[in-house]
Chains A and B, each alone.
Chain A
Amino acid sequence: MDENSLIKTLSSVYAPSGMENTLFDVITKELKDYVDDIFVHEKSNSLICYKKGSGKFSLMLEAHVDEVFMVVTDILKEGLLKFYSNSIDPKILPGSKVVVHGKEPITGVIGIKPYHLVKKGEENRPYNFDNLYIDCGLGFEELRKIISVGDYVTFKADFKKIGNYCVNKSLDNRLGVYAIIEILQRLKKIMHDVNIYGVFASQEEFTSLGAITSTFSILPDLAIVFDVTFATQNEVSNDDGFELGSGPAIYVGVSGNRDVVNELIETATKYGIPFNREVGILSHTDADKIELVRSGIPVALVSIPVRYMHTPNEMFDLADFNRTVNLIKIFIENYKKPGDLNGEY
């Protein structure tokens, strides 16, 4: 499945919040022949690329590149690591493999005591970060040489096609990254008015540092944010998620600019691209933050549904991805806005 090879690469690289530059070479290699400029936004560790259009209007396509992570909090004399995360459910960790990013990356396993020793009543008590450990097969002294407190821990990558879908860690938000790359590549031979900034932003899973600061630096007239949203699955109904394969979810909430949202919806409707409306107050993505930069940026959010979010098994349907790319590509092709609203570049 050739079409999947780039998303496999993108989602297999380890880029926890603050360590996003591990992905920059991959993205740069993909885009260097398709954009006019590509550079690292040093202050936030984000990557920005620029593709000139024929007009003055500027559009920012944004996706965060970072992934959820854990950190080492202690090295125990027994040769085990204590660790913690704010964004990962500890209940999914027993029996998992992780990568500890010390002086060199090493594999660790998170085991629990065997079923034989579980006492009555104990089996319903969920595991949490207080009683889970990472075992790297190394002793205390050996660990100390490679690992220090504060080192990142990530899920171990294992991209697979499972049935109709694909799974791996960190499809949140390498799907968004992939979408921007794909759109810029497809725009190569197409005339477009708008000047396009592609922003691969850092630290969404923490403070949205990359989104906020790069938006300030760029000052776009309009921004479209790519992220993932919940898909229907076991214990997630239509109330909270969207069917895999039913197209991108366009966010319709209090945050986000309704004019832009309506234009996206019109485009999707006109070209027969299936989509969903995702309703919320705030979206809890970079879009909320981008909207508040300088004197306010018009922003819309397009999300690809993903099952089992924030686990090593995030699952998506390639059809949803393709429709997202199509929608925004068509939107850009047709976008003709007179004048320059903010107009720094």
Chain B
Amino acid sequence: MESIELIKKLSNAFGVSGSEDEVIDIIKKEISGFVDHLEVDNLKNLIALKNLDLPKEKIMLNAHMDEVGLLVKGITEKGYIKFLKVGGIDDRLLPGKRVLIGKNRVEGVISTKPIHLQKELERNSSETYDRLVIDIGAKSKEEASKLINVGDPIMFDTEFEQLSSRRYSGKAFDDRLGCAIITDILKEDLKVPIIAMFSSQEEVGLRGATVGAFKYMGDISITIEGTISADFPDVRDSEKCSSLGNGPVITIKDGSVITDHDLRNKLVHLAEKLKIPYQFKQVVAGGTDSSRIQLTKGGVRVLVVAVPVRYIHSPVSVFDIEDYNATKKLIIEFIKNYFGGKHD
């Protein structure tokens, strides 16, 4: 299973928003030879072009490379690290987690007060991130300053791991799964003009895509995401957003965009015809790069298709490889059917 090796590499890579370099390197290495042109722009968007000389409608495939994480804010006298959050992380995820800091991947643990020493009130309340520190085993500020700098990005220290025959756990499936699907698609021999944009800084306000879609503009755009699946017992059915194992998640509307009705109907029609399972995104929440791409120049018709992911924005996200494969297949078939000259 080639995709799994690629997903593993991408999931383990360091790519907190603004520090996407490792992800760029991995994708570059994977796709060079399969594309005609590669460039990295000023915001660290990686853009790849393929078959743009064909006189057909151009399709932009895009996924963001960055992941949520933390940022070193300061070092205390005792050598502990204070930090900021980059992107939407629930403070309650932080205590007791292991992290890696900066390019040298300095190891640290986020502090937890022993349960024995917590007063009644502390036991029943949760810590906010600004009360926590990262312990890198340094004995002083001087010692810590030799290892890390203020401003260094911090990511969860976790390893991609197979849980069962179909399910895998790791970090950054939002949106390295999208990056992996596009990488896989670029390796297919599709006779269609493709602009692939691997965008930066999505988690801090869709910033990369805002400029990344400008230089090479597609006639249509498909944003490929890893999206929320909150299919747990204590979440109401109407709020689950999507469910693992039920196939690609197609967005009608989220917090940032209404996708193109005509294109989406074609996509759904195709999924029905090919008997590819699919689900609509239930909750009108979250935003994707598609909303910025849609506003580029005179406007772009956009679609959003996603792989459902449990526990996103955590070190232990879970996805199902069948969902990944179905999402990839649906997008490939869509491109072939509507842009490859095989209109039905």
A-side residues, CB < 8 A to B, are 76, 78, 80, 87-89, 91-97, 106-118, 123-127, 131, 133, 135-138, 142, 158, 160-165, 167, 230, 233-236, 240, 245, 307-313, 315
Contact = CB atoms under 8 A, between A and B. Distances in A.
Nearest to B114: A309
B111 A233 contact: yes
Interface string B86-112: 001111111111100000000111011
Interface string B215-241: 000000000000010111111000101
A97 B117 contact: no
Contact of B316 (A96, A161, A309): A96
Interface SS of B by simple majority: loop
A236 B119 CA distance: 12
Given A124-B126, A125-B126, A162-B136, A117 B230 contact: yes
A138 to B, nearest CB: 5
A99 to B, nearest CB: 12
B109 A308 contact: yes
Given A111-B317, A236-B117, A240-B117, A164 B138 contact: yes
A308 B114 contact: yes
A78 B316 contact: no
Interface in B157-201: 158, 161, 163-164, 166-169
Contacts of B42: none
B115 A87 contact: yes
B137 A118 contact: no
Interface of B: 80, 88-98, 107-109, 111-118, 123-128, 131-133, 135-139, 143, 147, 156, 158, 161, 163-164, 166-169, 228, 230-235, 239, 241, 283, 285-286, 310-318
B93 A313 contact: no
A245 B233 contact: no
B112 A94 contact: no
Contact of A89 (B115, B137, B312): B115
B96 A308 contact: yes
Contacts of B118: 89
B161 A126 contact: no
B95 A91 contact: yes
A165 B135 CA distance: 10
B318 A115 contact: no
Nearest to B239: A117
Contacts of B91: 123
Contact of A230 (B92, B114, B166, B314): B114
A234 B80 contact: yes
Contact of A235 (B111, B123, B158, B164): B111
A308 B118 CA distance: 12
Given A91-B126, A106-B163, 10 more contacts: A97-B161, A124-B125, A127-B92, A163-B107, A163-B136, A164-B138, A235-B131, A308-B114, A312-B96, A313-B98
A311 B96 contact: yes
Given A233-B111, A235-B111, A236-B113, A107 B163 contact: yes
B96 A137 contact: no
B109 A309 contact: no
Contacts of A313: 96, 98, 109, 112
Given A94-B93, A160-B107, A315 B135 contact: yes
Given A92-B96, A109-B316, A234 B90 contact: no
Nearest to B312: A114
Nearest to B316: A109
Given A110-B316, A136-B164, A162 B113 contact: no
Contacts of A245: 139
A114 B113 contact: no
A93 B60 CA distance: 40
A289 to B, nearest CB: 18
Nearest to A306: B114
Contacts of A308: 96, 109, 111-112, 114, 135
Contacts of A87: 115
Nearest to B170: A109
B318 A111 contact: yes
A161 B109 CA distance: 11
Contacts of A107: 161, 163, 169
A115 B285 CA distance: 11
A125 B127 CA distance: 10
Contact of A112 (B90, B113, B143, B286): B90
Nearest to A162: B137
B232 A162 contact: no
Q: Which of A91, A126, A158, A312 has the most CB of B within 10 A?
A: A91
Contacts of A127: 92, 126
